[in-house]
Structures are given as structure tokens and as C-alpha cells.
A and B are shown apart, each in its own frame.
Chain A
Amino acid sequence: DADVTQTPRNRITKTGKRIMLECSQTKGHDRMYWYRQDPGLGLRLIYYSFDVKDINKGEISDGYSVSRQAQAKFSLSLESAIPNQTALYFCATSDLPGTAYNEQFFGPGTRLTVL
């Protein structure tokens, strides 16, 4: 089974609708992240969380909100979706830094289309 899962994998919705993307992980990591990927722009950080009580805005948080329901679950919401939020969304996790920074582990992505 995959260590980081995302649901749904694909979603088509209409402008103004509320959408929730969900992420679950079995790696036991405290740190979780949401990114969006757009062609030519790479990955941009939306929100990140270092534990259940810690939520931080990333580079492009406007129009998004998150909820960390448990160590293993981190949800991303679009309160009122707009077409320029059409993108590929990735959840990622990482362990606490030790003597060096550890890598992130990514889910398979959710392709969201807002019409």
C-alpha cells in the first residue's frame, strides 16, 4: 500500500463550489505539506503543518484553507473554487530534521479542474 494517499485523484467542479482534497499518510511523519503544480512554475507551497496544532501559510495560501485532523491526515479546502485554481495538487510528508534535512515523500496527486 502507498505510504501517502490522496483522494480524489481527479475532480472536475464548477466555479464557486467548495472542494476538499484529502491526504493520509502511514509514514508516521509529523510534517505535512500541500503544493500545487502548474506547467512551467514547478511546485509552489500552499500550506504546511509541523504537528496537529501547527498550521502555516505557504507562498500561495490565498483562496485555500487546511485542516490537520490527526497526525496522519491533512486536508486542503477551496472555499469557493475559481478557474485559476485548476492545477495538479500534491500532498507531501517529511520527518523531523536530524543531522541533515530529510527528503519529502509525495502522494500521487489530485488533478483538479475548475470550470
Chain B
Amino acid sequence: GDSVTQMEGPVTLSEEAFLTINCTYTATGYPSLFWYVQYPGEGLQLLLKATKADDKGSNKGFEATYRKETTSFHLEKGSVQVSDSAVYFCALATGNQFYFGTGTSLTVIP
């Protein structure tokens, strides 16, 4: 069935380091792909999305490219900040369902 697999955490980085969080998916049809972010004590917020192959979603310095050939949607940021500390979820929407990864906790230290 449809599913999302994302890199397990936790991930700890120093400020200004490069970030990659891997996400791969299994889906039939033509899913849309999303990255959500959850800050401590809050609900999930959409970070970025891509709706078709080769689309690149971007927001707040984060980017992810919808790669159909590798069924991936890896999240990247060139220089992380302390304020990026949060849990990141990869998700896909297909048919009438949404599927979420298990989340990757990121801590950025000064």
C-alpha cells in the first residue's frame, strides 16, 4: 500500500550546518508530497509542497524536489538556525488519504 518512510532521528546539528532529511515514498497514481514542521507544543504546519514530478517546493530556506524516478522528496536547508529546531514530517496525499512519516526531530545548537 501507499506509505512514506523518512530518516529516523534525532538529528543534532550546529548552527549554519547543512541539513538533509531523507524521505522516500510508495504510492500508486500521482500523489502530492508535503513537508510539515511541528514546533514544540504546537500542531503541524505546512512547510512546503510539490504536486508533480520535478517540482521543487521551497519555503524559509528549505527545499525539496519531487523525484519520481527515485520516489524521493528529501528536505534540505543550506544553513540551519537554532529556530529551526522542531520535528519534521514527510507526507503524501493520494486517492482520498494522507500518509505521514514517523517524524524526524531536529535540534540545532548554537
Contacts and interface: CB of A to CB of B under 8 A. Distances in A.
A33 B44 contact: no
A50 interface: yes
A92 B45 CA distance: 11
Contact of A103 (B34, B42, B94, B101): B34
Contacts of B97: 45
Contacts of B89: 42-43
Given A33-B98, A42-B100, A42-B103, A101 B31 contact: yes
B45 A106 contact: yes
B22 interface: no
Interface residues on B, range: 20 to 34
B81 interface: no
Interface string A11-44: 0000000000000000000000100000011110
A103 B36 CA distance: 10
Contacts of B101: 42
Nearest to B29: A101
Contact of B102 (A42, A100, A102, A104): A42
Interface in B14-67: 30-32, 34, 36, 42-46, 49, 51-52
Given A100-B32, A100-B51, A103-B34, A90 B44 contact: yes
Contacts of A108: 42-43
Interface residues of A, number: 24
Contacts of A40: 102
Nearest to B4: A42
A15 B35 CA distance: 36
B93 interface: yes
B96 interface: yes
Interface string A78-115: 00000000000010101001011111111111000000
Interface of B: 30-32, 34, 36, 42-46, 49, 51-52, 89, 93-94, 96-98, 100-103
8 contacts: A4-B43, A42-B102, A43-B44, A45-B97, A90-B44, A100-B51, A101-B32, A107-B43
